[in-house]
Each structure stands twice: as C-alpha cells, then as structure tokens.
Structure 1
Amino acid sequence: MKRSTLHGFGMALILSGIMYTGLDYFSGTEVSTDKYEEKIEQLELQLKEAKRQLKQYENQASTKDETSEHRNTADSSGKKQVKEGILYIYSGQTPYEIAKKLKDMGIIQNAVEMELFLAQPEYARSIQIGQYEVNSSMSVDEIANLITGKSDSSN
C-alpha cells in the first residue's frame, strides 16, 4: 500500500469521529433533561410529603410518650417497677443479639455483662430456640439458665 492511501484513510477516520461527536453534541438532549427535571420535581414533592408524615408521626409518638410517662410516674410511688416481656430466640442468634434484645426490652441494665455471660462455652453451646417470659427482677444467671434449659443446681 502506498503511504498516501494510508494517510487518506486515517484522515477519513478522524473526520468521521469528529462528525459523530458533533452530532451527539448538537442533537436534542434538551428533551431528556426536561424529563429529568420533571422527575426531580416529583421526587422533591414526595420527599416533602414523607417529611411531613414523619413529623406528624413524631408528634403523635411524643404525645404518647408523655402520657405513658405521666402514667408511669403516677404508678411508681417510690417502688421500682418490674418490667416483663417475652424474649424470642431464633436459630443462629449470637449472645450479643440476645443481650441487646434484653437491654432494649429494659430487662437488664448491662448488655455487655449478659453477652459475656452467655458467651461462656457451657452457655453458648446450649442456648435453646424458643420464647421465654423474662422480667427485670431476674438475675443474669437466672435468665441464662432459663434460655439454656439448665437448672440452678447444675452450676
């Protein structure tokens, strides 16, 4: 092949590339931006509505908290209330997850203590799946014995 043929072919490729780039640049992309702007406006309206609903929900929740707090103060005339609940244990739950649930329920004060207690090999291997009625008057040892099926005398 001659050098002039290759040179002409290369120039043709460069020219066609420039034309395609210019065609994309000057084509009607304004139509697609209009669609995106409309979509953004719709999403902003949805966001405002969600924020309004969230604020309304928070107001309702704070009102309920205030009324229940008022009842709790009236109920507790100097004595400590015993909180009760049902602990659900599922397959594969770790001692950390169980301790966190108990803390969230208000049954125990220190989740780390419960986690470390349940992480001991004699308890960790024998945690039973099921539901257990627990209350805040129970000790960490009693709760551990309950959910592992061990009796108090086996310790």
Structure 2
Amino acid sequence: MRKSSIRAFGIALFLAGASFTFVDFITSDTDTEAANINVPRGTVLIKKSELEAINEEAAEAKEQLAKIQTDYSALKNNTVAVNTSAKKTVKSFTLVIKKGMGTSEVSSALEKAGIIKDAGDFELYVIKNDKASSLQIGTYDLNVKMTTAEIVKKITRSK
C-alpha cells in the first residue's frame, strides 16, 4: 500500500505542475500577441497626444534656435563694427620732458595719459637698461601702439 500511495502522490504532483505550465503558456501568448500586433521589434508605441506635445516642443525649440542665431549674428556684426572703429582711432600723447624730470615723473605722466599700463614696470625697464641718465629734454609724440622699448628709444639719447 505504501508503494501505490507514493506513486499516486507523484502522479498528482506531475499533473498539477503540467496544468500550471499549460495555463501559464496559453495566457502569456495571448498577452504578448495583443501587445505586438503588427509592430516590429524595437518600435516604441506612444499616444497621439504625446506625439503632438513632442512636436510642439520641437517647433518651439526651432524658433528659439533661430532667434538665438539671428541675435548672435547681429551681435557679431556689431562687435566687428566696434572693433574696426576702435582700430581706426589710436590714442596718441605728446610728452614734454622738462629739465630736472626723472624717470618716475616721466613714467607717471605716461601712465596718466594711458600710453603705458604700469608706471613702475616702465621705470624698472628704464633703470635696468641703464637709460635713466639718458633721458632727453624735449617734446615727443607717443601712441598706445608703441612698445616700452620703442618709447624708451624715442625719449633717450643713444650712448
């Protein structure tokens, strides 16, 4: 009796497992088929309202891009116009060196006129190159485009 009971119990478990597998197989196929009717693999399904919203956002983005591009080109043209007008006007200055003026007075006058950026650097350059004693009394036309070496060469005498 024991052998037949165990056999019956085993057959019952087998049939229960087979029935669960069969039912699961049948229901999953219908769900999968309903979701994939005439849709190729890798395709995303969206609602029409979502598609319209996305298209509206894309149109707004295109309008913003066009506005930014026109603003950029206008700004670029203005910058070019400003640069060309700035290049045409070169700041010049007439430096008058009087008797008794030293390098500090000359460098501060050049800095105030905007010909050089730093009076201390100019003064150090003059002293390092041993030109402090070579400053010449006179009137000199200088401009912003001149380098420190050109300015020093113009306002000193050659040794």
| TM-score bracket for this pair, using the shorter chain length | 0.3 to 0.5
Q: Which has the larger radius of gyration?
A: 2
What TM-score results when the alignment is normalised by the length of structure 2?
Answer: 0.44
